[in-house]
Structures are given as C-alpha cells and as structure tokens.
Structure 1
Amino acid sequence: MRTKIVCTLGPASEDETVLRGMIRAGMDIARLNFSHGSRADHERRIGLVRRIAAEERASVTLMGDLQGPKFRIGQLTDPGVALQRDQQVIFSVQPEGEAIPLPHPDLLAAIQVGQRMLIDDGAIALTVVRRIDATTIACRVLNGGVVMSNKGVSVPGLKIAMSALTPKDRDDVQFAIAQRMDALAMSFVRSAEDVYELRRLIQDCGGDQLVVAKIEKPEALDDLPNIVRASDAVMVARGDLGVEAAPEEVPFYQKRIILTCLRVGKPVITATQMLQSMITSPQPTRAEASDVANAVLDGTDALMLSGETAVGAFPVQAVEAMARIAARAEASVSYRPRALLSELHETLADDDRTDHKTDAITTAAVHIAETVGAKAIACASASGFTARMIARHRPAVPIVCLTPHERTQRYASFMWGVAAVIAETRKADADTLFEAACDAAQRLGCARPGDTIVVTAGLPLGSGSGHTNVIRLMEVRA
C-alpha cells in the first residue's frame, strides 16, 4: 500500500497490544490531538509509540494537532447534557443552574438573534432566540443530541478577529518541541501568514518541526496556493469545513485542495469521518468504503482516522479496513487518471515558480521506470523535495528516498509511496551513492538481485535542494 495512514491516539489506542496492532496494520503517523487530554496523557502516549515502534522496527511519525482559535463548550458538571428538539437552552460565560458554559465572551457578544449555532461539527444545531445580557444568550434546539465538554462550537458566517495562535497553542508548541515531536498541525489557517507565524514560533523555540496546514475555513481557499507553498503538508479537515460551508460543497473543495497540492508536490491528508461507523461497528459501511477509495483516486497522500482510533471500540480493525480499501483503490485501472496528470503537467509548464529541471528529471524517471520495467525509483534527497516531485506523478513502483536527515525520513511518512532510509549522501561519491540506492531498495524488499531500478541524484553531491540533474539505470547485485 502506498497511501499513508494517520491515526489519532486516545483512550482506545493506548493499550500496548492495541497500539502494536495499529502499527502492524499500517499506521504511519500517530496524531495527538491537543484539544483533548492532559500533558501526562500525551507524554505517556508519545513514549509508548516510540517504544513499540522501535520494537517493531517501524518508523512512526509523531504529529501534534494544535487546538487553534476554536470556540468550545466549557467544562460540564455532568458527563453530557441531552438536548431535545425545540427545547430552549441557555449559554453563558458564567452559567447558573442548567445553563451550559460557553467561555467565549467575544463570541457571545457578537452573535445575533436569528443566527444558527452548531456544536460538534454540526451534529447539534440551534438558533439564537433571545439575548439575556452581553455574555448570555437563549437558543432553541433545531437538531438535538448530547452536548459534552470541550466540543467545538461554530456560527456559520460570523467572523471575529482572532490571533492564529492562542496562548494554549504556544504552550503546546513548546511542549511538542520538548518532546521532540516531528510535526505540528495548525488549525483554522486563514492565510499563508498564519503558517509563517507558526514557523517563526517554532524557530524561536529552537525547533524544526514540520508544519501541516489544516484547511477548515472557506476563507482559506482564497489563499490556498500560498498556504500550500508555505506548508510542509496540508490537511483537508472536512469536519469544520463542512460546518462553515454547505456539505454539498465539501467533496469539490476536497478535490480542489488535493489537486493544488499535487501541482506543487506537497503531501495532502484527507480527514474526518472516513470510517466513522467503526467507532461502534467492526465493519465500515459501503458509503465509507467509497469515500476512502475516492479520496485515494482523487490523489490524496494520506488518510486520517480520528474518533475511530481515539475512542472507538475497534481501532485495529479500522486501520486494517482503511489499508485494505486504499490498497484496492491503488490497484484500480482508473488510478493515476491520465486527465488529472495531463492537467497537472499543463499547470506545471505554465507556472513560473516551478523548478523545471527537477520536474523534467522526475517526470522522465517515472516514464523510464515504466518503460524498462524497473522495480523501484530511488533518489538522493536531503530535504525530501525530489521524493515529493516523484511521488506526485504516482508511479507504479515504490519510491526509495536516501537522506542524511531524520527530519526528512519522518517527512516521508506523509508522502505517497515513499520509504526513506538514512544514508550519508552529501560526502559519498556518485558510484557509492548509486550502490547505496540498490542496497536500500533490496533491504526494503522493493527489488532483488538482477532487477533494475532507476536512480536520480544531483551531481556534484551536496549541491542542495532542487539540483537533481542525473538519472541512472542500475542493476541490483547480490
């Protein structure tokens, strides 16, 4: 399977046997959602992932997901509050009696009578019927459900000026750096400047974490090309995106975001409710299987499980099901659709910002591999740039990335079809590098003695990112 799998950790997946099963089933990235859980919870799960991954000789990337400037229900005294249709309910900064805590005075001051308020990605819908005071409102329930602590709250169409990073986010960034996590996902990105703000904070704190921009607000689509270029990877966060925009628009936003990422070779994750029924069922629905398969056919690099592995009853089965569906989609004759690749190539040719030399070399490498029946494409890549450029063409054979940096090895966990191995590529001579590529392909099980692989590199070695200028056919030796 070439598509990568992101799994959210939580109470359901911190059992050692369960976590080991998830890694064996195909988990590439472990996501820790900083909106939930304590520091002690996160530290415990980080340590467990590292220990079990080492025992399994698996590479698992650790990604922290920042809460971002999202409005959330406060702490309830009961585990949950059941709301019935047409019931009237009070929300307040300082609740009394049966009022529900909503500790966001700016939201309560800005919301108007008649506006809709959505909770838990739209599962619960209300309309504001009366203002009681500046920080207290009365609402009528349109769609009922159980309100729980920390669930997200949104008001479609309401714009409130907020900082891209909250004080909690800044603390969580420092925590992630101290824990040597590999990546940070930024919530509610509105523009490329938001991404740069997080990059500056990471640098100021002494970190070098990868940045994943979560597209969950329609206004982010206005600056999408710049957001994609500013990020290391992008997430199609369909939950909040589907709350802020009409649900029927989300599939087309998904395709647009994925294609934008393909154009510049940035990894893209498709997320939210992909196998939602598997929170309580051991099998996915047919609609969920179609959803996962279509995301792969759209060109996503990675698929994400949220509640399915964090709080679900069948976390290992969810990973196994996702892996099976993705593998079947990759084997489809309709995969790597020519129309999509043709549009991709036309766009690249017209884009002045495209690295045309690297694009030409990587395109040729994929074509040569298909023509000669090569078993793998290997590349020397310090930053992962060349590996990304190859991966966007979705070759029919595995991609092996030789890199001297552990950061790049972790970055490869986001890239479709890429397996990265640590190798000193900066000081080696060309022949040694090409032989190392053959050895790596053989160790990874991509090729056997007598097989041909395609190798790309930038000569002289150590020239830096974007200097790929050589293709060589190599025969793997025993």
Structure 2
Amino acid sequence: MKEMKNTKIICTIGPVSTNLEVIKEFVEAGMNVARLNFSHGDHEEQLERIKLIREVNELLGTNVAILLDTKGPEIRTHSFVGGEATIVKGSTINIHMNPIEGDPNNFSITYPQLINDVKVGGRILVNDGELALLINEIDYENQIIRCVALGNAVLKNKRGINVPDIKLSMPYFSEKDKADIAFGCEQDVDFIAASFVRRKEDVLEIREFLKSRNREDIKIIAKIENREGVENLEEIIEVSDGVMVARGDLGVEIPIQDVPIIQSKIVRLCHQANKIVIIATQMLESMINNPRPTRAEVSDVANAVLEGADAIMLSGETAAGKYPIEAVRMMASIAKRMEKAIDYQKMLERAVEKGEQTITNTIALSVADIILKLDVSAIVAPTVSGYTARSISKFRPRVPILALTPVKKVVKTLALNWGVHAMHVDFAGSSDQVFEQAMKITKDVLGLKKGELVVITAGMPLRKVGSTNMIRIFEVD
C-alpha cells in the first residue's frame, strides 16, 4: 500500500517560490496548502501566485488549497533616515504619533491612537522584542510617548511594534483587510487566516463580510498571537473553523517559556472541538540559510505531529529561504516518521472527552475504534459537505481517510484536516454502485492489494447532507 502523510503542510509562497517549477516541487514534496501573506506584496503579485498554484494543480491533478493570510491590525514604525537607526541602551526614545523620519532618538508609528492606550511604566517592544522600551512620560500636547531604551539595537524601516498587557482600542477589520479579503473572494481562495484575533467578535466581523459576498464556503482560521487572544481562546475556537498558533508574535506578547504550554492547550481544545489546528512560525527557521535543520527544530516539528496538530507551516523557509524545496521535504519526512509513533489510542480518548452526541459523531467514533482493533488499510467517506470526513478526522485513525465528494469546493476545504485525502467524484447510480466506484478509486489511489480491508462510511440516502448513519467493511478482491 502507498504511504500517505496524514499531517498537512502549509508552505508560504514568496519571492523565491513564485515559480511554476518550485511550486510543483513543493507539491511533490508534500505541500497541501499554499499560504499567501498579504502583509507583503500587492494584488498583482498575489494573483500571479494564485495562477501558478492553479496551473500546478492542473499539471499534477492535485487539489492544493489557497490560504489568504491577512495583515491584521498590526502596528509598525515608519522609516528612518538612511533606512536604519542605532539605538543605545539608556538613551531617551521619543515615539511620535505624527509621521516623521526616524533617527537614533525619535521615530513615528502607524497607529497614532497608541498614546491613548498606554500608561507610564508600561513596555513597548520593537522588532519581535529585539528592543524593549520603558514608558516614562506621555506628552499629550506634543503627541509623543517618551521612553528609555532597555537595550541596544539596530532598527530598520517598518519594524513591528508589540505592546504586551495592553488592550488596544484600534479597530480590528481594516480597510486593507477588507480589500484583500474581497480580492480573495473574487479569486476563490479556500481559507482566510485572520491575523491578531483578540476576541470572537473579530472573527464574526470577517464572517459577516464573507456572508455579504455569498462566500460562506471560505473557512476562517483565527491566528492566536497576542495575550488577549489567549485569554479569549475558547470563545474564538467556538466561532472559527480553525486556529493557527502563530508563535512569533505570541512569544513577544507573553513570556516565551509559556508558548509551549499555550500551544499544547490550543491543540487539545481544537482537537476536542473538532476544529483545525495549525502550528506555525520558525519550525525549520535555520533552513532559510542552511541545507539541514537543527536538532531542536526537528524535535519541534516532531512534537507538533505527536501532539496531534492538523497542519504544520513553513514561512520564511519557503518564501525567502535558500533551501525551500529541501525544507518541505524535511518537514514531510519528519511528519511521516512521527505519525508511526503517535499514540492513537490516547488521541481517540482525548477526542471523546468532549463532543456532540450526534449520529455522525457516534459513527465516526465507531470507525476509529474499528481501525484500532482490525487490520484495516483505509477509510472511505463519500460525502457532500465534507462533514463525515471531518468527523472521522477528529478521532485520528492511523489510516488515510479518502473523502470522495461531488462538490469541488469541499475538496479544497478538506485540505487542512488531518488524514483526509479528498477527491472530486461524481456519484453515479445506486448506493451499491457508488460503493463499487469508491472501492475501485481507493484501490487505484492507495495501491491496495487483494485481501486488504477498507471501511466505508456514508449517509443513506447518499446525497443528503449531514446524514452519516452507515458503516460497511469491504475486502479488496
């Protein structure tokens, strides 16, 4: 039987990978979803990438989905004279609310209302925490936050600003994000990754925007990357289709040693709620410049797989690195190896701690239990909405879940669910004919041999949404 990777891989498409051949190699190496980072590049650049991804899908007969990652309500510095400024520990730093060109003692920021949110004694972090500033005066008359530098740093143009422990009053859904998501709707993207989500209302605002454009089929992934998002985690999970643990900004906003604890909690809660969970940021960071990862990075990826994450993500490694294809191959090889070491009984037990008591959920649990007890090679789920396949995925069966659906969009929206390998198939004839068709496809796709067992689960009647109520076990002839 052909070996299938169950953990999904997201690759960020950037300057080094906006190339047909590179994207093709990403897919062949194990990419399931292509991420487009709308913090960088204009719509013309992103459209070029979308066309390349779709061209590769046509060439290879694959179903790589597209994830649009929003800029979100972030704060950045403006520019510096000469493009950078050297900050000296102990020096006074004046943060101007009105735009200026920065120097070693002064710079301005993109969010002028910050002066109304902060307090004396608070901290402002610049460039992923590289520079910490202590606020010692707020000059409302001149619209300047006066700080002292707690360390040395070289700051370049447009560096990120974090303000830990402060609930910012800035609106969540910016005009840029609206324009970007509207563009995504036009281009039929599959997922929106919503940056810097703070509370459930942020997600609901995007959902309403999608609804107004009749694009409720686009799934929303909430990125948890600030303290407020962590505090409101459960309500955010409830209204989202999934969560991304965005560890870069999160590790600046909260103590870095707390990030692994938060990561484990998010994976567990998403798993129990049957929501997608993605681990992201610096997974194979050293491969931006080196052909091999560090042992710590390998352990990080391995741990994410063992914890039961649906997907793991590459950012700079595939967008701007020297070894983008090698990074995807490495991530895929780690995932495949660690999937053999997952405690599937423990995964099932965690999944049943919480969950809806529905017929579909009960059937899905029964399928997972069968997989633990019988030597089954695959699960086949003919599905209209994808709900059957998602329900089975929650219980993390050790074998691939082949989701056969007549709805093309459903194929793409299953691209992030653990273990689900979706295909577009038009159901023809009676249920027995559909099962016969499903067995033939499964045998061909997975290279099954005579005598291997396959579990088929579906709803009767077949074309009715949300009606999963049947399990059958077939032997390959």
The two structures have a TM-score, normalised by structure 1, of 0.92
The question of 1:308 aligning with 2:313 is answered no
The question of 1:64 aligning with 2:68 is answered yes
Gap runs ≥5 in structure 2 = none
Query: 2:380 is matched with which residue?
Result: 378
Q: Is the 8 A contact 1:375 1:446 kept in 2?
A: no
Instruction: Report how far residue 48 of structure 1 moved.
Output: 1.6
Task: Decide which moves more: 337-346 or 118-127.
Answer: 337-346
Matches within 5 A, 1:116-265: 116-131=123-138, 134-207=142-215, 208-265=217-274
Q: Is the 8 A contact 1:126 1:139 kept in 2?
A: yes
2:411 equivalent among 401, 409, 412: 409
Query: 1:474 is matched with which residue?
Result: 474
Q: Is the 8 A contact 1:128 1:137 kept in 2?
A: yes
Query: 2:26 is matched with which residue?
Result: 22
Query: 1:351 is matched with which residue?
Result: none
Instruction: Report how far residue 211 of structure 1 moved.
Output: 0.9
Query: 2:464 is matched with which residue?
Result: 463
2:425 equivalent among 423, 426, 429: 423
2:353 alignment partner, SS class: helix
Instruction: Report how far residue 88 of structure 1 moved.
Output: 4.1
- The residue identity in structure 1 corresponding to 2:95 is F
1:400 alignment partner, SS class: strand
Distance change in 2, residues 1:206/1:360 (3 Å)? closer
- Quick one: distance in 2 between partners of 1:80 and 1:13? 28
The two structures have a TM-score, normalised by structure 2, of 0.92
1:469 alignment partner, SS class: strand
State the Cα deviation string for residues 287-328 of structure 1 (Å, max 9, x = none).
Answer: 111111111111101001111111222111111111111112
- Quick one: distance in 2 between partners of 1:393 and 1:274? 25
* Identical residues among aligned pairs (%): 38
Instruction: Report how far residue 91 of structure 1 moved.
Output: 2.8
Q: Is the 8 A contact 2:457 2:468 kept in 1?
A: yes
1:94 equivalent among 92, 99, 102: 99
Distance change in 2, residues 1:253/1:134 (3 Å)? farther
2:168 alignment partner, SS class: coil
State the Cα deviation string for residues 84-108 of structure 1 (Å, max 9, x = none).
Answer: 4445443323214623331211113
Instruction: Report how far residue 78 of structure 1 moved.
Output: 4.2
Query: 1:345 is matched with which residue?
Result: 352
The question of 1:106 aligning with 2:113 is answered yes
Distance change in 2, residues 1:445/1:96 (3 Å)? closer
Q: Is the 8 A contact 1:2 1:418 kept in 2?
A: yes
The question of 1:73 aligning with 2:77 is answered yes
Q: Is the 8 A contact 1:358 1:389 kept in 2?
A: yes
**Aligned residues between the structures:** 468
Q: Is the 8 A contact 2:344 2:397 kept in 1?
A: no
Query: 2:47 is matched with which residue?
Result: 43
Query: 2:11 is matched with which residue?
Result: 7
Q: Is the 8 A contact 2:224 2:250 kept in 1?
A: yes
- Quick one: distance in 1 between partners of 2:345 and 2:339? 14
1:13 alignment partner, SS class: coil
Distance change in 2, residues 1:277/1:301 (3 Å)? same
- The residue identity in structure 2 corresponding to 1:254 is Q
Query: 2:330 is matched with which residue?
Result: 321
State the Cα deviation string for residues 242-294 of structure 1 (Å, max 9, x = none).
Answer: 22211121111111111111112211100111111112211111111111111
Instruction: Report how far residue 447 of structure 1 moved.
Output: 2.4
Distance change in 2, residues 1:130/1:399 (3 Å)? same
Q: Is the 8 A contact 1:400 1:440 kept in 2?
A: no
Aligned CA RMSD, in angstroms, stands at: 2.1
- Quick one: distance in 2 between partners of 1:29 and 1:440? 23
- Quick one: distance in 1 between partners of 2:333 and 2:270? 24
